[in-house]
Structure formats: structure tokens, C-alpha cells
Structure 1
Amino acid sequence: MNSLVSRGSLFDDFFKDFAPGFYVRPLHGDGLPAPSQIKIDVKEDDAAYTVHAEVPGVPKEDINVSIDGNVVSLRAEVRQHDEKKEGEKVLRSERYFGSVARSFQLPVDVDAAQAKARYDNGVLTLTLPKLQGARAQRLAIE
């Protein structure tokens, strides 16, 4: 069950096009990203995979990476909130809380003990060494 409400649904797009004044966009921030919005790039060399995942605005303490064989799972707790300043009158306040997750499968098992993760400027970089002895092998066709 997904507890997040997508703001980009077909229904919302219909009303936005049909009656632009009817659709109200948030005054602050964007909605929570959908799992498909965690954009990733995966590169491979002979020894390892390098994964770059965009997780902007999330503290590194709220990001969880798990590796199970050749399956890599990313999970992030998303929290957006407004700050009220002295003398301000709040007309509308929106807060977003929830989590997003994405898993993907690599062709070869990963050596989880040697894997490394680094988070810088909203981009999570994973260095995932290939497990020795788990290399793909091409079979000759008889």
C-alpha cells in the first residue's frame, strides 16, 4: 500500500488543462517524489559497479542502502516543512512526510563487505565491487 498521494495523476492533469484556475499548486516545495523519481545511473567496469542516485533534500542519516546478492535497495525518509519567522502571517502551510524506495538488480552479485557509499549535494554514490568468482560466463552453443 502506498500512503503517498501523487500530484501528477491523470485526473489532476485533466483539470489543469481543462480549467487552469481550478488546479491549485502548493505554495511551498514539491510533493514527495515517487519511487520512479529516484533517478539512478549505473556504470560498470571489470571490478565494480558505480551507482549515482539522486536523493535531493534528504539528510544522509535518513537514507538506507541494503544489498542482497545482486539486488540493491534504496530507501529514503522524506520530510519537508516550513519555518515560521517572527512577524509572519501564515496563509497556507504544507508539510510532506513519507518514504520512497527503489530496488534494482545487477547482473552479478555484489561484495557487500567491500561496498562503499558517499552522499554529496543530493547525490548518493555507491561503489559496489563485484563478488569474485561470481562472474558471468558465456556458454558455447553446441
Structure 2
Amino acid sequence: MSNITRRDPFDEFFRGFFVRPVEFGGAGDAAPPIRLDVKEDAEMYHIHAELPGVKKEDIHVQIDGPMVAISAERKQEKEVKEGERILRTERYFGQVSRSFQLSHDIDDVHATAKFSDGVLELSLPKKSTPQAKHLTVQ
């Protein structure tokens, strides 16, 4: 006669769950994108960029006409205590960058950048368009 064994399918699923986290797919080691909010008024653009875990010394903003490039580097701090071992690391360390074009040239002399609580705030004034000059013929 055969023995009938009762099994709970959820028991198999949750066994060792906290030791071996379930992978739900995704990009893996790909750099996460820099998420932006861009607002515009008559005189300037206001940009908020999320850069969590980045120090302000590691952020670079470059302006060239209407082009804006933001790059940053998140550095890994290797602090492993004695008797401790790392089971899994999911945080991203490395360089991220993002470039975009606005509809007006930026006055880079008066542009300002502020970094607080993982958010980079850029205030980018629009460059005034030169007025057409009409010459009178003498």
C-alpha cells in the first residue's frame, strides 16, 4: 500500500525565502535612470532631479546652449564588520547620467544649482533672444 503525504505548496515557496530572495526580473546591474521634473515659466526652467545616496561633490552639471547634462557617481562604502558576511547587495553603485534639450538657450552665467535631501534643484534662466536691429539708410 502506498503512503499518502500531504504537502502545502506555499511551504515550498516560503522555505528559505529570507536567505534566497525571489528575483522578479528587471534590469539587474543596469544603472537606474535619473528621474526629473521640469517646469517652465516665462523667465526660466526649474528642474528637480532625484539623486539619492550621492554626495554633492560627485554631481556635475554641464550647460551648452539648450542642452543640459547631469552626471553623478554613487560610491560604494566597503564597511564589513568582523564575523559579518554580505548575503545580497541590491543598491546601485557607479555612474549615472542624463542629458536633455530644452526649447530655449540657457543663460549659464545666472544659472544656479542646489542639492538637498537627495534632490538636485536647478534654476536655469532663459537667455534673452536678441532683438532684430533695424538700420536706417542714410
Coarse TM-score class (shorter-chain normalised): 0.5 to 0.7
What secondary structure does 2:96 align onto? strand
Instruction: Kindly tell me the number of residue pairs found equivalent between the two proteins.
Output: 108
Whether 1:119 and 2:118 are equivalent positions in the alignment is no
CA–CA distance in structure 2, aligned partners of residues 45 and 134 of structure 1 = 19
Q: How does 1:38-77 map to 2 (within 5 A)?
A: 38-77=34-73
**Does the C-alpha gap of structure 1 residues 97 and 103 become closer, same or farther in structure 2, counting only changes over 3 Å?**
same
TM-score (ref. length: structure 2): 0.67
Q: Deviations over 1:74-111 (max 9, x none)?
A: 001122334223x5322447585421110000000000
User: What RMSD in Å do the two structures reach over aligned CA positions?
Assistant: 2.7
Q: 2:98 aligns with which of 98, 102, 124?
A: 102
CA–CA distance in structure 2, aligned partners of residues 134 and 31 of structure 1 = 47
Q: 1:90 aligns with which of 85, 88, 99?
A: 85
Q: Percent same amino acid among aligned pairs?
A: 45
Unaligned runs of 5+ in 1: 1-20, 136-142
What secondary structure does 2:83 align onto? coil
Query: After the TM superposition, which parts of structure 1 deviate over 3 Å for at least 4 consecutive aligned residues?
Result: 21-25, 30-33, 91-97
Q: Deviations over 1:34-93 (max 9, x none)?
A: 3xx2100000111100000001000000000000000000001122334223x5322447
Residue 18 (structure 1) aligns with: none
Structure number with higher helix proportion: 1
CA–CA distance in structure 2, aligned partners of residues 96 and 49 of structure 1 = 29
Structure with larger Rg: 2
